[in-house]
Amino acid sequence: MSCSSPCAAPADAACARLSLAALVVAGHLAAAAQQPTHAGPAAPALPTLQPASRLPSSPTPQPVSPPAPAVTTIRPLASPASPAVPATPPPAEVLAALPQARLIGKGALRFFGLPVYQARLWAAPGFDAARYDGQPFALELQYARKLRGPDIAERSIAEMKRVGSFTTAQATAWQALMERAFPDVAAGDRLSGVHTGGGQVRFFHNGRPTAQLDDAAFARLFFGIWLAPQTSAPALRQTLIGEAAGRDGA
């Protein structure tokens, strides 16, 4: 093989050496290409990343409701039974005359809104107010203010005239009797009248006997001040005979 360019004689030897070197290099390269390549240890395989659209979707978390609190049934404690309220006992003078007497009714008499007295009717069970003049009973008046005895007697005569008629002589005698039966009273004092059922009437002041009369006409008219339908205090009458407890008469 010759050089691609003419060479002078002195340079022929150099040209020949270059050609030989080129052939040697080409041979080494060809040999290297035919020998197997000794590779190093294989690198670990990298995980293949999938597109986001192919990733499995995570389940949507569901809201967790808190557990319902346990319901405790609260039962009210049984209240102890209230002790029975004993019945109001009658005053001694009433109990002595009427052992079976019990309180039938009570009410207050007021005058222009001012309390005058508290009235109580005592009688045996089965008392019939429509026939009061033929039955035993007692009427008790507890005064709330000071009053003169003669004024009480005079007012009683005026109220008795509403119930029925009577003579002037009867009025004079009955008023004199009541002035003895009704002394002056102060707040808290009691006047009681006991009717035996046969026309006899007994009067008491704070439990002490003051007068007595056996006259059926007087008994009917006097106690009719509170118990007769013609009374000037019908509301008080109703409370006394038990038809409308709790209302005051006027």
pLDDT of residue 88: 82
C-alpha distances in Å from residue 106, one per residue of 35, 154, 247: 139, 24, 9
Question: What whole-number distance in Å separates Cα of residue 203 and Cα of residue 214?
Answer: 12
Paired with 120 in beta bridges are 106, 140
Give SS3 for 105: strand
Question: What whole-number distance in Å separates Cα of residue 145 and Cα of residue 241?
Answer: 24
Nearest to 187 by CA among 225, 233, 141: 141
Amino acid, single-letter form, for residue 49: L
pLDDT of residue 10: 45
pLDDT of residue 242: 86
**Blockwise average pLDDT, block size 10, the chain, 250 residues:** 45 47 46 47 50 52 57 52 65 96 96 94 94 96 97 98 97 98 98 95 98 97 97 96 53
Question: What whole-number distance in Å separates Cα of residue 233 and Cα of residue 236?
Answer: 5
Please give the distance of CA 142 from its chain centroid, rounded to a whole number: 36
Name the phi and psi angles at 36, rounded to 5: -65, 145
Nearest to 125 by CA among 141, 147, 101, 145: 101
Please return the burial class of 138, using the count of CB atoms within 10 Å of its CB with bins 0-12, 13-18 and 19+.
buried
Question: What whole-number distance in Å separates Cα of residue 93 and Cα of residue 209?
Answer: 8
Q: Check the CA dihedral 87-91-97-103 and report its sign.
A: negative
Question: What whole-number distance in Å separates Cα of residue 169 and Cα of residue 215?
Answer: 14
Q: Are 143 and 116 in contact (CB under 8 A)?
A: yes
